[in-house]
Homo-oligomer: A and B are copies of this chain.
Amino acid sequence: MTEPLRLGIAGLGTVGVGVVKIVRQKARLLNARAGRPIEIVAVSARTRDKDRGVNLSHYDWEDDPVKLATRDDVDVFVELMGGSDGPAKAATEAALAAGKHVVTANKAMLAIHGQALAEAAEEAGRLIRFEAAVAGGIPVIKALTEGLAGNEITRVMGVMNGTCNYILTRMQSAGLTYEEAFSEADGLGYLEADPELDVGGIDAGHKLAILSSIAFGTQVNFAGVELEGIGAITIEDIRQAADMGYRIKLLGVAQMTGRGLEQRMSPCLVPAASPLGQLEGGTNMVVLEGDEVGQIVLRGAGAGEGPTASAVMGDVMDIARGLSLPTFGIPASALSEAHPAQGTVPAPYYMRMTLEDRPGALAKVAKVLGEAGISINRMRQYDHDEPTAPVLIVTHATQRAALDTALDAMATLSEVQGTPVALRIEKV
């Protein structure tokens, strides 16, 4: 295998440019490692005339990514355009149909069309690789699919949206409100054009759905991810959590239970002293748990030119070296349907609410919890000047359904002001 591996790259944003730079600047190293040269033959992007800080004149230009993807002289179609549908999907499908391998960083496309694309890849006898789609530069897809291939995976967890973790960390460390931290992240260019993709947990939810499929041998099912964003987290929650030895993280958790596949992406409390609790700023962390290996923790940059391009190149090098692997670890036809779990594994919950300061208010709340079968581990009422009292409750492990029953009942109590906050305390 000394013939070159020829790439066609569609999408020349930060990541695409990063990949071009690596292929140009590290040609000798890549050749030594792959046993063959890695070459770019053609590129494509929306705008041709734009200074991208890298010389593209050696490569053919294609305005149409589908045309790029199906060129006779392309072995691997590198899809870095993004978007779950549209040109990215059309070009990916065309590439596979034309017998090309595909390397992509497109989490949305895989989370939504992963099963169909995996089937198309297998029909064509080609690979789709997507290390860059999950947790940026961290080689987590490889660790899960290959390194832990001798394990039954028991749980996958992750902080996989750097922007959310940045916002929560700034609230924690600088005492900013959610709105202030959000604005700061926005000013730094950390937010997606639609910020809800970040703070609503959608982007991280896409990543979790992809990991779940590999971990549990199920068809990727983003619709089955319970999504809750970080928009309701207040500085008060951050402080109370810290006071009890916890941090609040937008945490993804996937596990196969007797009641189906549980996939959650939601703000959770984790111990401040745990690796997840100690994760600050834009860094990502993924925790893989296997029945043999125990807990493996992977930490690294979740975004940015270098880290994401590094992940893309890892996939390109695998293909150059002849790796052969089904998209989600087992053949697409063997992936079982993912039945979303009814209810989640019981856990303790953190609750914060505002009560009118009158006799019996706390008793009524306690009664509601008791009637829902929820027992209280800790309760605090804080010193206050206003006629309302902030109250904090930590429950013993309970079903989420019981908690929802209690929250519904609280909504009918005139003593409870606004909507109580309820956050899961995850055992990590």
- Interface-central residue, A293, A300, A309, A317, by most chain B CB under 10 Å: A293
* Segment 299-342 of A: residues with Cβ below 8 Å from B: 299-301, 304, 306-307, 309-314, 316-318, 321-326, 329-331, 334
Binds B, one of A66-74, A145-153, A411-419: A145-153
Is A244 at the interface (CB under 8 A from chain B)? Answer: no
- Give every chain B residue within 8 A of A195 (Cβ-Cβ): none
How far is the CB of A250 from the nearest CB of chain B, in Å? Answer: 20
Contacts known (A139-B143, A318-B146); A300 close to B293, Cβ less than 8 A:
yes
Which residues of B lie under 8 Å from residue A33 when comparing CB positions?
A: 149, 329-330
What are the interface flags for A23-40 relative to B under an 8 Å C-beta threshold, 1 for contact and 0 otherwise?
000100110111100000
Task: Enumerate chain B residues within 8 angstroms of A292, measured Cβ to Cβ.
Answer: 18, 22, 137, 306-307, 309-310, 313
Q: Inside 8 A of A316's CB, which chain B residues have their CB? A: 150
A183 contacts which chain B residues (CB < 8 A)?
A: none
Residues of B within 8 A of A149 (CB): 30, 33-34, 313-314, 317-318
Given A33-B329, A33-B330, A314-B149, A296 and B299 contact (CB-CB distance below 8 Å): yes
333-368 of chain A: CB within 8 A of chain B: 334
The answer to whether B142 touches A146, judged by C-beta atoms less than 8 angstroms apart, is yes
Asked if residues A296 and B291 are in contact (CB atoms below 8 Å), the reply is no
What's the Cα separation between A149 and B290 when bound, in Å? 26
Q: Name the B residues within 8 Å of A381 (CB-CB).
A: none
* Chain B positions within 8 Å of A334 at CB level: 32
The answer to whether the Cβ of A297 comes within 8 Å of any Cβ in the partner chain is: yes
Q: Contact between B300 and A35 (Cβ–Cβ < 8 Å)?
A: no
In the complex, A203 has a CB within 8 A of chain B: no
Q: Which residue of B lies closest to A318 (CB)?
A: B146
A324 proximity list for chain B (CB < 8 A): 321-322
A18-67 residues with Cβ-Cβ distance < 8 A to B are 18, 22, 26, 29-30, 32-35
Q: Which residues of B contact A151 (CB under 8 A)?
A: 310, 313
Secondary structure at chain A's binding surface: helix, strand, loop or mixed? mixed
How far is the CB of A277 from the nearest CB of chain B, in Å? 10
The answer to whether B309 and A300 touch across the interface, beta carbons within 8 angstroms, is: no
Docked-complex contact B299 and A275, CB < 8 angstroms? yes
Q: Does residue A298 face the partner (Cβ distance < 8 Å to B)?
A: yes
Copies held by the complex: 2
> CB-CB < 8 A to A32: which residues of B?
217, 330-331, 334
Task: Verify if A138 is at the interface (C-beta below 8 Å from B).
Answer: yes
Please give, as numbers and ranges, the residues of chain B lying within 8 Å of A18 by CB-CB distance.
Answer: 292
> Does chain B have a CB within 8 A of A278?
yes
Check A295 for interface membership: any CB of B closer than 8 A. yes
Contact B291 A306 (CB under 8 A): yes
Instruction: Tell whether, in the assembled complex, residue A150 and residue B22 are in contact, meaning their CB atoms are under 8 Å apart.
Output: yes
Smallest CB-CB separation from A298: which chain B residue?
B298
When the two chains form the complex, which single residue of B26, B296, B310 contacts A139, counting CB atoms closer than 8 Å? B296
The answer to the question of A131 belonging to the interface, with a C-beta cut-off of 8 Å to chain B, is: yes
Q: A307–B293 contact, CB under 8 A?
A: yes
Q: A142-B143, A146-B318, A321-B325 are in contact. Are A300 and B310 (CB under 8 A)?
A: no
Judging by beta carbons under 8 Å apart, are A150 and B297 in contact?
no
Alpha-carbon gap, A379 to B69, bound state (A): 65
Write out the residue numbers on chain B whose beta carbons fall within 8 Å of the beta carbon of A22: 150, 292
Once A293-B301, A325-B321 are accepted as A-B contacts, the answer to whether A310 and B150 lie under 8 Å apart by CB is: yes
18 A-B pairs with C-beta separation under 8 A: A30-B149, A30-B150, A32-B217, A33-B329, A34-B149, A35-B331, A138-B296, A139-B148, A149-B313, A149-B318, A275-B299, A278-B278, A292-B309, A292-B313, A294-B307, A297-B297, A297-B299, A322-B322
In order of increasing CB-CB distance, the 5 nearest A-B pairs are A150-B313, A139-B147, A149-B317, A137-B293, A293-B310
